Amino acid sequence: MDVLGIDACGKQGWVGIRLTDGGYAGSLVAVSLDTLIERAGAVQAIAVDMPLGVVEKGWRAADLAARALLGIRRSSVFLIAPRSAWQEPDYVAAANRCQELTGSRLSRQAWALAPKLLEARACWLADERIHEVHPEVSFSALAGGVPLAYAKKTWRGQNLRRALLAEAGLVLPDELGEADRIAVDDVLDAAAAAWSAHRIALGIAERVPAVSELDAAGRPVEIRY
């Protein structure tokens, strides 16, 4: 059984970690998400570290539930504005629209996701294999439900994340091929997404929130792990 976990990686575009039966089976890098997915071929599940479903009003219940779950790592979850805010031409307009629909302004960090969010959302709407994940939620699950004490860009944090993946059978080799030039935290996030994709394909993945909202397109707005 083949699955794919994907993380955004700045100017390089997207990095993917492919698993076969839960074990590492290679890496892919592509500027566009649809190209990366096409190159991956016939995989059963695709997990992407990017908000995919959006609501019409208020904050997403998935983000609020993930923040509550993550404790000290809660700041890694951005609150994602309603759908119409992402259709605005610039940050000021988007922040004002978000204020109208949620009572609070959209953060600049969240708005910076706009190009990748819209790209990933288009792929999600076209491909039912694609699911939203959040690496810190996945790593917390790998650690027995305990949020990790060290951030992902720290030495301790990266070693801990790699060890947790290895304990679950996902051993990342020292030489990854295409992903060798990608930042370590992005590779680890893609690997955590791949671990979640494997669980999704097996039918054992969990989700937040327990009861999903629906996107305007009728798909559930949820984070799987």
Q: Where are the alpha helices (DSSP H) in the chain?
A: 33-40, 61-70, 91-102, 108-111, 114-126, 135-142, 155-167, 184-202
Percent of the chain with pLDDT over 90: 100
CA distance 124 to 53: 8
Instruction: Give pLDDT, residue 76.
Output: 96
**Average pLDDT of the residues in 197-224:** 96
For 81-116, the pLDDT digits (tens) are 999 999 999 999 999 999 999 999 999 999 999 999
Q: Please tell me the number of Cα atoms within 13 Å of 132 on its side-chain side.
A: 27
* Mean pLDDT, residues 183-204: 98
Distance CA 171, CA 149 (A): 22
Cβ burial of 124 (10 Å; 0-12, 13-18, 19+) is: buried
Domains of the chain: 2-51+126-207 (3.30.420)
Query: The whole model's pTM is what?
Result: 0.96
Neighbours of 210 (CB within 10 A): 9
Q: pLDDT by residue (tens digit) across 23-62?
A: 999 999 999 999 999 999 999 999 999 999 999 999 999 9
Which tokens hold the place of 138? Answer: 């996945």
3-state secondary structure of 79: coil
- At residue 169 the predicted structure's pLDDT band, cuts being 50, 70 and 90, is very high
Mean pLDDT across the chain: 97
- pLDDT value of residue 22: 97
> What is the pLDDT, as a whole number, of residue 26?
98
Q: For 201-216, what is the mean pLDDT? A: 96
- Range 173-198 average pLDDT: 98
Identify the pLDDT of residue 62: 98
Give me the pLDDT at residue 204, please: 98
Q: Are 222 and 47 in contact (CB under 8 A)?
A: no
Find the mean pLDDT for residues 147-156.
97
